[in-house]
């Protein structure tokens, strides 16, 4: 019999008992792998689903933000991160991703999708209707935005989450 996962608000700092949008807390498992230790994030697929983003995009974010090689374990959907990483650090990285690439800058609702216009990445909010450019402050955010622009249409679920806008 498995226990119910601990749920956290998608928007950091909200009261989990009253906030509508929730995600599972990061579950970390350490495992030895030959010459080194890997951190196994056992529920990253569920977190990706809860925030409406792909597992591949979270894998790429963890690679940039933690400075480690990250792989998706094909059989389970777990993320395998080189090195040993604390749960607090992993959860913080998830919230950093959410703050920039999920929450609407206007209403802070997580019901957003990506749009791209040329070489610029936008968040479109399905709640308030606002379309805002992604704030690309910081090297990791710039790198992630570039990766998203290059890989959006190739991700699982791709084109329905991406709108190509043209001028005129």
157 touches 54 (CB < 8 A): yes
Strand partners for 29: 40
pLDDT digits (tens, 9 = 90+) for 114-129: 999 888 999 999 999 9
Question: Given this model, what pLDDT does residue 29 score?
Answer: 85
Of the pLDDT bands very low, low, confident and very high (cuts 50, 70, 90), residue 60 is very high
pLDDT digits (tens, 9 = 90+) for 33-47: 667 889 999 999 999
Question: Given this model, what pLDDT does residue 36 score?
Answer: 81
Question: Given this model, what pLDDT does residue 153 score?
Answer: 65
> In this model, does residue 20 exceed pLDDT 80?
yes
What is the average per-residue pLDDT within 143-157? Answer: 77
Location of structure tokens 């591949």: 56
Question: Given this model, what pLDDT does residue 152 score?
Answer: 77
User: CA torsion sign, 10 to 86 to 83 to 137?
Assistant: positive
> In this model, does residue 67 exceed pLDDT 70?
yes
119 touches 72 (CB < 8 A): no
Of the pLDDT bands very low, low, confident and very high (cuts 50, 70, 90), residue 2 is low
pLDDT digits (tens, 9 = 90+) for 71-113: 999 999 899 999 999 999 999 999 999 999 999 999 999 999 9
Angle in degrees, CA 41, 46, 49, rounded to 5: 130
> In this model, does residue 155 exceed pLDDT 70?
no
């Amino acid at each position: 019999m498995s226990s119910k996962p601990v749920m956290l608000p998608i928007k950091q700092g909200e009261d989990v008992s009253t906030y509508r949008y929730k995600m599972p807390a990061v579950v970390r498992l350490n495992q030895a792998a030959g010459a080194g230790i890997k951190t196994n994030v056992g529920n990253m697929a569920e977190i990706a689903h809860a925030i409406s983003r792909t597992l591949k995009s979270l894998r790429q974010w963890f690679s940039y933000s933690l400075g480690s090689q990250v792989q998706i374990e094909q059989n389970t959907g777990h993320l395998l991160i080189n090195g040993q990483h604390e749960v607090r650090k992993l959860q913080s990285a998830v919230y950093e991703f959410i703050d920039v690439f999920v929450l609407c800058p206007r209403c802070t609702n997580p019901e957003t999708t990506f749009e791209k216009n040329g070489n610029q990445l936008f968040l479109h909010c399905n709640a308030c209707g606002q379309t805002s450019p992604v704030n690309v402050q910081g090297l990791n955010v710039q790198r992630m935005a570039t990766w998203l622009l290059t890989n959006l249409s190739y991700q699982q679920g791709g084109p329905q989450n991406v709108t190509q806008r043209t001028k005129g």
